[in-house]
């Protein structure tokens, strides 16, 4: 993973030279575990929540930010994976998330996004 | 894998410091279908020889911002950017705000020239931003409605629809209503029955930063079809091949096979339909939907 870490350091350094706005790195930790919810008022059911809550929190960034999302899989009975729509992951497609395409299922994982 | 309809999904917003459009505030609004059964049960009833026509599980409810009957505050005269996201497993949504036009400015992360519509259609996983300018008076509150496209449902359970005319009803099952609230001391009116949906032509959208069409170096045609295979189950397919995840993830295969094999599609298996592309080539993909249901491209 040292190659990967260096890549991120390089990408951040380049961006700070080119942009008047310094890119920030946002680090988030998600504990994925079951909880219950009844969003239609008709039926309480088991749902997959984040950090004990459902719905899961939105992730909000500014363009140019790096995101480090650490995921702890506490489901207990299922593997999982995370993938974002609309992000091209150009040059970092090993962080894109689709299970079976760029990675295995995971029990615990980091997800990195650059720009 | 079917986990996001069990709730593991959320908006991911990236703001542009050099935003080309001016607005006062932004609000994210999600829509979703909602199932009472977990996806493991839904998939088991869906992918079986007992369901050879591939009738998809029908949701039990529609949600807006992961709930129902919620409120969204508007201040008179302000312009809002509404970021709509369809997080549904299955259902396409019609979305509108009564007595308010929407100006589409962004589709799936691409800015467009302003395009004024009375409402939008949003298939699963699509994202659209619109500008809505609030009225100058605070005398009334207005319904914002998300209505699931019933054309996609093979059956409609008895007792859940109060009318014979499925397209024209407001049922707790098919529709979800929130309210644009200008003054919380005023009532939130029931939505008005719609005679028809606005069927928008999104090919009329114009990108804000147009790029010239480039002749592709390579072109592929992918035909989407559903068909029942020898095991009696109904499968979705590109060009008559249904995708199954390979034992080894595709990227890991590319990195681990001898380098002279990594551009040979055979190493990626027979159920992944690999298309090996040249580096930095302009690739054209022609996607044909052979199914009657609406599907995002």
Q: Give residue-wise pLDDT tens across range A36-61.
A: 999 999 899 999 999 999 999 999 99
Residue from B3, B4, B14 whose CB has the most chain A CBs within 10 Å, to mutate? B14
Helix H or strand E segment including B146: strand B142-148
Q: Are B53 and B146 found together in one domain?
A: yes
Closest-CA residue of chain A to B247: A100
Q: Are B245 and A84 within 8 A, CB to CB?
A: no
Q: Are A100 and B28 within 8 A, CB to CB?
A: no
Q: Output B79 or A87, whichever has higher pLDDT.
A: B79
CA angle A79, A83, A89 (to 5 degrees): 135
Mean pLDDT for chain B?
90
Cβ–Cβ contact B109 with A under 8 A? yes
Instruction: Report which DSSP code applies to B259.
Output: G
Q: Are B247 and B126 found together in one domain?
A: no
Residue B140 lies in a domain: yes
Q: Are B57 and B141 found together in one domain?
A: yes
Query: Where along chain A do its domains lie?
Result: 2-114
Q: Are B10 and A59 within 8 A, CB to CB?
A: yes
Cβ–Cβ contact A33 with B under 8 A? no
Q: Name the minimum distance, in Å, from the CA of B47 to any CA of chain A.
A: 19
Q: Is the pLDDT of residue B112 over 80?
A: yes
B-chain CB neighbours of A99 within 8 Å are 1, 245, 249
Cβ–Cβ contact B71 with A under 8 A? no
CB pairs under 8 A between A and B: 108
Q: How far apart are CA B175 and CA B150, in angstroms?
A: 10
Backbone phi, psi, residue A18, to 5°: -90, -25
Q: Are B199 and B236 found together in one domain?
A: no
pLDDT bucket at B166, cuts 50 / 70 / 90: very low
Q: Are B68 and A46 within 8 A, CB to CB?
A: no
Cβ under 8 Å to A: B residues 224-283: 245-246, 249-252
Q: Are B149 and B45 found together in one domain?
A: yes
Closest-CA residue of chain B to A45: B36
Provide the number of structural domains found in chain B: 2
Q: Give the CATH number for residue B101.
A: 2.60.40.420
Q: How far is CA B261 from CA B209, B256, B268, B274, in A?
A: 40, 10, 10, 13
CA angle B271, B275, B281 (to 5 degrees): 165
Q: Are B13 and A61 within 8 A, CB to CB?
A: yes
Q: Are B17 and A87 within 8 A, CB to CB?
A: no
Q: How far is CA A59 from CA A65, A69, B10, B162, in A?
A: 12, 10, 8, 39
Q: Name the minimum distance, in Å, from the CA of B137 to any CA of chain A.
A: 32
Residue B297 lies in a domain: no
Of B204, B229, B258, the position where a domain reaches its end is: B204
Q: Is the pLDDT of residue B161 over 60?
A: no
CA angle A76, A78, A79 (to 5 degrees): 110
Q: Are B199 and B223 found together in one domain?
A: no
Residue B295 lies in a domain: no
Q: Are A47 and B249 within 8 A, CB to CB?
A: no
The three state secondary structure string of chain A is CHHHHHHHHHHHHHHHHHCCCCCCEEEEEEEEEEEEECCCCCCCEEEEEECCECCCCCEEEECCCEEEEEEEECCCCCCECCCCCCCCCCCCHHHCCCECCCECCECEEEEEEEC
Q: Is the pLDDT of residue A113 over 70?
A: no
Q: What is the pLDDT of residue B55?
A: 86
Cβ under 8 Å to A: B residues 152-211: 172
User: Is B290 within 8 Å of B225 (Cβ atoms)?
Assistant: yes
Q: How far is CA B201 from CA B93, B116, B204, B287, in A?
A: 15, 12, 6, 17
Q: Is the pLDDT of residue A90 over 90?
A: no
Q: Are B142 and B174 found together in one domain?
A: yes
Of B171, B204, B237, the position where a domain reaches its end is: B204
Residue B106 lies in a domain: yes
Q: How far apart are CA B39 and CA A50, in angstroms?
A: 18
**pTM of the predicted model as reported, rounded to 2 decimal places:** 0.87
Q: Are B110 and B223 found together in one domain?
A: no
Q: Are B15 and A101 within 8 A, CB to CB?
A: no
SS3 state of residue B291? coil
Q: Are B191 and B239 found together in one domain?
A: no
Of B173, B204, B235, the position where a domain reaches its end is: B204
CATH number for the segment(s) A2-114: 2.60.40.420
Domain that holds residue B56: 4-204
Q: Are B97 and B50 found together in one domain?
A: yes
Q: Are B68 and A41 within 8 A, CB to CB?
A: yes
Closest-CA residue of chain B to A23: B17
- Summarize the confidence of residues B41-58 as an average pLDDT: 88
Q: Are B131 and B252 found together in one domain?
A: no
Q: Are B10 and A57 within 8 A, CB to CB?
A: yes
B133 contact partners, CB below 8 Å, separation of at least 6? B77, B78, B79, B80
Q: Is the pLDDT of residue A16 over 60?
A: no
Instruction: Report which DSSP code applies to B261.
Output: G
DSSP states of B74-139: --TT-EEEEEEEE--SS--EEEEETTB-EEEEEETTEEEEEEEESEEEE-TT-EEEEEEEPPS--S
Q: How far apart are CA A3 and CA A79, in angstroms?
A: 27
Residue B211 lies in a domain: no
Q: What per-residue string of b and e applies to B71-104 under the rule 16 or more CB within 10 Å gives b?
A: ebebeeeeebbbbbbbbbbbbbbbbbbbebebbb
Cβ–Cβ contact A77 with B under 8 A? no
Q: What is the pLDDT of residue A6?
A: 32
Q: Are B136 and B254 found together in one domain?
A: no
Residue B213 lies in a domain: no
Residue B11 lies in a domain: yes
Q: How far apart are CA B158 and CA A5, in angstroms?
A: 57
């Amino acid at each position: 993973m040292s190659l990967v870490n260096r890549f991120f350091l390089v990408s951040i350094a380049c961006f700070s030279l080119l942009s008047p706005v310094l890119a920030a790195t946002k680090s988030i930790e998600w504990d994925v575990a079951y909880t219950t919810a009844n969003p239609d008022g008709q039926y309480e059911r088991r749902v997959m929540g984040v950090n004990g809550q459902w719905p899961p929190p939105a992730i909000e960034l500014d363009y140019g930010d790096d995101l480090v999302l650490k995921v702890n899989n506490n489901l207990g009975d299922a593997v999982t994976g995370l993938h974002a729509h609309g992000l091209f992951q150009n040059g970092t497609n090993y962080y894109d998330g689709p299970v079976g395409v760029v990675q295995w299922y995971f029990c615990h994982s980091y997800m990195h996004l650059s720009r | 894998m079917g986990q996001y309809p069990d709730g593991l999904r959320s908006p991911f917003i990236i703001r542009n410091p050099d935003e080309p459009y001016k607005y006062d505030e932004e609000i994210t609004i999600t829509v979703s279908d909602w199932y009472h059964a977990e996806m493991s049960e839904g998939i088991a009833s869906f992918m079986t020889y007992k369901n050879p026509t591939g009738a998809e599980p029908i949701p039990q409810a529609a949600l807006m911002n992961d709930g129902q009957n919620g409120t969204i505050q508007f201040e008179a005269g302000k312009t809002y950017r509404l970021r709509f996201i369809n997080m549904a497993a299955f259902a396409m949504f019609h979305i509108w705000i009564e007595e308010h036009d929407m100006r589409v400015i962004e589709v799936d992360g691409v800015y467009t020239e302003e395009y004024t519509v009375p409402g939008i259609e949003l298939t699963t996983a699509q994202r659209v931003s619109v500008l809505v300018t609030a009225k100058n008076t605070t005398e009334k509150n207005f319904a914002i409605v998300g209505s699931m496209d019933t054309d996609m449902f093979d059956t409609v359970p008895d007792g859940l629809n109060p009318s014979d005319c499925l397209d024209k009803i407001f049922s707790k099952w098919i529709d979800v209503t929130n309210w644009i609230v200008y003054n919380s001391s005023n009532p939130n009116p029931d939505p008005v029955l719609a005679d028809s949906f606005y069927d928008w032509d999104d090919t009329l959208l114009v990108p804000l930063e147009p790029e010239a069409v480039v002749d592709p170096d390579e072109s592929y045609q992918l035909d989407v079809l559903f068909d029942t295979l020898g095991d009696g189950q109904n499968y979705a397919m590109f060009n008559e091949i249904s995708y199954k995840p390979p034992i080894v993830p595709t990227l890991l295969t590319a990195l681990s096979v001898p380098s002279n094999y990594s551009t040979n599609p055979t190493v990626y298996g027979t159920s992944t339909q690999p298309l090996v592309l040249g580096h930095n080539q302009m690739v054209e993909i022609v996607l044909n939907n052979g199914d009657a249901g609406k599907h995002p491209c």
